[in-house]
């Protein structure tokens, strides 16, 4: 908000001075407070087209800008930066504007209602969700919340891979465990089978419900029955983990259902019509290399079954048919080899593949006693999302997962995270919220809170620490837009930590509730209300609670 105001003023000054300004310049917070509250590189960026030395241009601009009452001091530094010291009046005005707009002053219609489909987690329904899924859940959900807040029309979807090889293996694993329970000797458990304890639990549950009834069925019926049972149970497990994480999906799309609707045949015929398939070694191939992939890919295997790619492509096409213009997939690092063929298919079918956007979340490395924990679904060695939530809590887990850029590896130290009183910054932010709540409670008790805040209250704020807080608050509208646009939720945590640091510093230097000075107290309360609600908004966007006391 402040940057926008300053930029506006600089533009006007440029105009009044008669300078050309075709290139864009920036207004930013300088690295050092000696350089002022804000600075702009306008003079350097525009010096060439105006055929003037940066410093001359800057000088002319400053002369003009000095007429503005919001600028206390202006000077040229370095190669031609214009450094700006703001008058308290501007901070006060901005705070007052935020107050008048209310808690959601940072909300906007930036996204213009664009329909965005966010697909994430989409874990195989063959076991409990692991911590990589947890990372995807936290990341995707936060991105969803922010996009919605700034005016997009996003939807969250979970694609269920409930057809294909892995489901057969799941059913076979379950059958073996069931036989085991019934006293059969099954020998060594097959390497490919799912080794996790949960398969045993499923078997016990099924055994309790149905005894050996399943073994009366024909083999085909039995496999179908086991599949159905296992899928339903596991999906329930996954859903409940996500519930605990406060992550909801607008839709769960089943691959099996898609297949039964005939989309597989449809997609195959589209690709054939587009003349980009051929037969080789009794399989049907897609000429993906012609469309930018490394090599051609199999669509239908020689045994007549379909590869994962076909229904997945069909699923993506339904997204377009349903009117989404941006398709965001949040994938794990092991999927990047897969994406070129998806893009290739988009191009082959005449769709703009730039509407497909992939965010790769790098892996989560789990550390215990300084050693990396090796996880494997197949071998059953896994730390689940539930384990994690149980140990560190939803708030800390969500915070931790979004605190890093998507394409950075995430090292998760279990011991560190299991300590409740650790240095996890989530406590730092929540503590700030609790502290402010406490101040406001105290003010209310002392009958210092006004019925209505007035502009005069804002005018009592003259301390640099107060201006710093207002400056940070004023960044929020732009920040949220950037988080949405660049798909970078981690910036929320950076901002929250900055704001809280400014608050804690302010807290230790100045008292808010000053018994002898009611008007000053009210000015400061006005600011504190705004800090608290902004923090609460951001914590909520991250899916983290904002406690009133700790």
Partner RNA sequence: GCGCCAGUAGCUCAGUAGGAUAGAGCAGCAGCCUUCUAAGCUGCGGGUCAGGGGUUCGAAUCCCUUCUGGCGUGCCA
Please give the residues from 497 up to 526 whose contact with RNA meets the rule CB under 7 A: 497, 501, 504-505, 507-513
Nearest to 292 by CA among 353, 340, 254: 340
Per CB under 7 A, the list member of 260, 302, 376, 419 interacting with RNA is 302
- Residues 135 to 154: which contact RNA by CB under 7 A? none
> To which residue do tokens 């990047």 refer?
336
How many residues lie near RNA (CB under 7 A)?
Answer: 93
Per CB under 7 A, the list member of 63, 79, 184, 266 interacting with RNA is 79
Per CB under 7 A, the list member of 67, 408, 444, 464 interacting with RNA is 408
> To which residue do tokens 């290399």 refer?
289
Please say which residue, 348 or 375, places its beta carbon nearer to RNA: 375
Structure tokens at 69: 């009452």
Say how many residues make up the chain.
Answer: 550
Interhelix angle for 518-541 vs 464-486, to 10°?
20
Per CB under 7 A, the list member of 224, 248, 250, 294 interacting with RNA is 294
Please say which residue, 248 or 334, places its beta carbon nearer to RNA: 334
> To which residue do tokens 């069925």 refer?
217
- Residues 329 to 388: which contact RNA by CB under 7 A? 333-338, 360, 362-363
- Residues 307 to 326: which contact RNA by CB under 7 A? 307-309
Residue range at the interface with RNA (CB under 7 A); choices 11-19, 214-222, 319-327, 397-405:
397-405
Contacts of 182 (CB under 8 A, 6+ apart): 207, 212, 215
Nearest to 398 by CA among 120, 138, 146, 133: 138
Residue range at the interface with RNA (CB under 7 A); choices 164-172, 179-187, 232-240, 257-265:
164-172
Nearest to 27 by CA among 16, 14, 41: 41
Please say which residue, 270 or 400, places its beta carbon nearer to RNA: 400
- Residues 93 to 122: which contact RNA by CB under 7 A? none
Residue range at the interface with RNA (CB under 7 A); choices 24-32, 212-220, 384-392, 537-545:
24-32
> How far is 547 from 345, CA to CA, in rounded Å?
49
Residue range at the interface with RNA (CB under 7 A); choices 7-15, 107-115, 319-327, 402-410:
402-410
**Beta-bridge mates of residue 376:** 381
Please say which residue, 90 or 366, places its beta carbon nearer to RNA: 366
Per CB under 7 A, the list member of 39, 254, 277, 534 interacting with RNA is 39
Backbone angles phi, psi at 24, to 5 degrees: -85, 140
Quick check: 161 binds RNA (CB under 7 A)? yes
Torsion angle in degrees (nearest 10) through CA of 236, 237, 240, 241? -150
Per CB under 7 A, the list member of 59, 114, 427, 519 interacting with RNA is 427
Structure tokens at 247: 């992550």
* Residue 377 Cβ vs RNA, minimum distance, rounded to whole Å: 11
> How far is 91 from 298, CA to CA, in rounded Å?
62
Per CB under 7 A, the list member of 150, 170, 439, 469 interacting with RNA is 439
Quick check: 44 binds RNA (CB under 7 A)? yes
Residue range at the interface with RNA (CB under 7 A); choices 135-143, 150-158, 483-491, 535-543:
483-491
Pairing mode, strands 153-160 and 251-254: parallel
Please say which residue, 208 or 515, places its beta carbon nearer to RNA: 515
Residue range at the interface with RNA (CB under 7 A); choices 62-70, 218-226, 345-353, 400-408:
400-408
Judge contact between 295 and 305, C-beta under 8 A.
no
Nearest to 537 by CA among 469, 476, 481, 489: 476
* Residue 294 Cβ vs RNA, minimum distance, rounded to whole Å: 6
Cα 77 from chain centroid? 38
Nearest to 148 by CA among 535, 484, 492: 484
Quick check: 409 binds RNA (CB under 7 A)? yes
């Amino acid at each position: 908000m402040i940057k926008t105001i300053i930029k506006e003023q600089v533009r006007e000054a440029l105009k009044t001075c008669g300078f050309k300004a075709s290139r864009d310049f920036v207004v930013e917070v300088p690295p050092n407070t000696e350089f002022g509250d804000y600075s702009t590189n306008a003079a350097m960026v525009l010096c060439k087209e105006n055929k003037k030395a940066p410093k001359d241009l800057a000088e002319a601009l400053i002369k003009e800008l000095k007429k503005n009452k919001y600028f206390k001091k202006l000077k040229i530094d370095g190669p031609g930066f214009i450094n700006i010291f703001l008058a308290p009046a501007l901070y006060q005005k901005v705070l007052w504007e935020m107050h008048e707009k209310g808690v959601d002053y940072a909300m906007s219609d930036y996204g213009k209602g664009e329909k965005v489909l966010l697909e994430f987690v989409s874990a195989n329904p063959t076991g409990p969700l692991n911590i990589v899924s947890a990372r995807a859940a936290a990341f995707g959900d936060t991105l969803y919340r922010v996009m919605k807040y700034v005016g997009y029309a996003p939807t969250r979807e979970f694609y269920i891979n409930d057809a294909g090889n892995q489901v057969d293996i799941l059913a076979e694993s379950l059958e073996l465990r069931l036989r085991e329970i019934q006293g059969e000797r099954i020998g060594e458990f097959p390497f490919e089978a799912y080794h996790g304890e949960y398969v045993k639990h499923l078997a016990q549950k099924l055994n309790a419900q149905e005894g050996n009834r399943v073994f009366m069925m024909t083999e085909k019926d039995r496999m179908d029955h086991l599949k159905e049972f296992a899928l339903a149970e596991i999906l329930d497990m996954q859903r409940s983990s996500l519930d605990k994480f406060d992550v909801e999906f607008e839709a769960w799309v089943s691959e099996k259902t898609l297949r039964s609707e005939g989309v597989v045949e449809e997609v195959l015929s589209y690709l054939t019509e587009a003349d980009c398939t051929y037969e080789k070694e009794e399989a049907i191939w897609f000429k993906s290399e012609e469309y930018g992939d490394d090599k051609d890919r199999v669509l239908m295997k020689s045994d007549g079954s379909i590869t994962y790619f076909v229904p997945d492509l069909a699923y993506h096409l339904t997204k377009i048919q349903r009117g989404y213009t941006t398709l965001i997939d949040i994938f794990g690092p092991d999927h990047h080899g897969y994406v070129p063929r998806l893009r290739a298919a988009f191009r082959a079918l005449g769709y703009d593949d730039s509407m497909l956007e992939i965010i790769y979340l790098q892996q989560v490395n789990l550390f215990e006693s300084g050693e990396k924990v090796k996880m494997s679904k197949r071998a059953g060695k896994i730390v689940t999302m539930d384990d994690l939530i149980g140990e560190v809590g939803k708030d800390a887990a969500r915070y931790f997962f979004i605190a890093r850029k998507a394409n950075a590896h995430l090292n998760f130290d279990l011991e560190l995270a299991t300590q409740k009183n650790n240095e996890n910054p989530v406590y730092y932010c929540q503590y700030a919220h609790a502290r402010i709540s406490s101040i406001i409670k105290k003010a209310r008790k002392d009958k210092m809170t006004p019925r209505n805040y007035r502009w005069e209250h804002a005018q009592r704020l003259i301390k640099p620490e107060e201006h710093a807080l207002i400056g940070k608050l004023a960044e929020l509208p732009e920040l949220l837009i950037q988080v949405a646009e660049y798909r970078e939720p981690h910036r929320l945590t950076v901002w929250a930590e900055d704001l809280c640091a400014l608050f804690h510093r302010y807290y230790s230097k100045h008292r808010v509730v000053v018994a002898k000075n009611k008007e000053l107290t009210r000015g400061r309360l006005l600011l504190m209300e705004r800090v608290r609600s902004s923090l609460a908004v951001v914590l909520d966007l991250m899916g983290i609670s904002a406690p009133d006391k700790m």
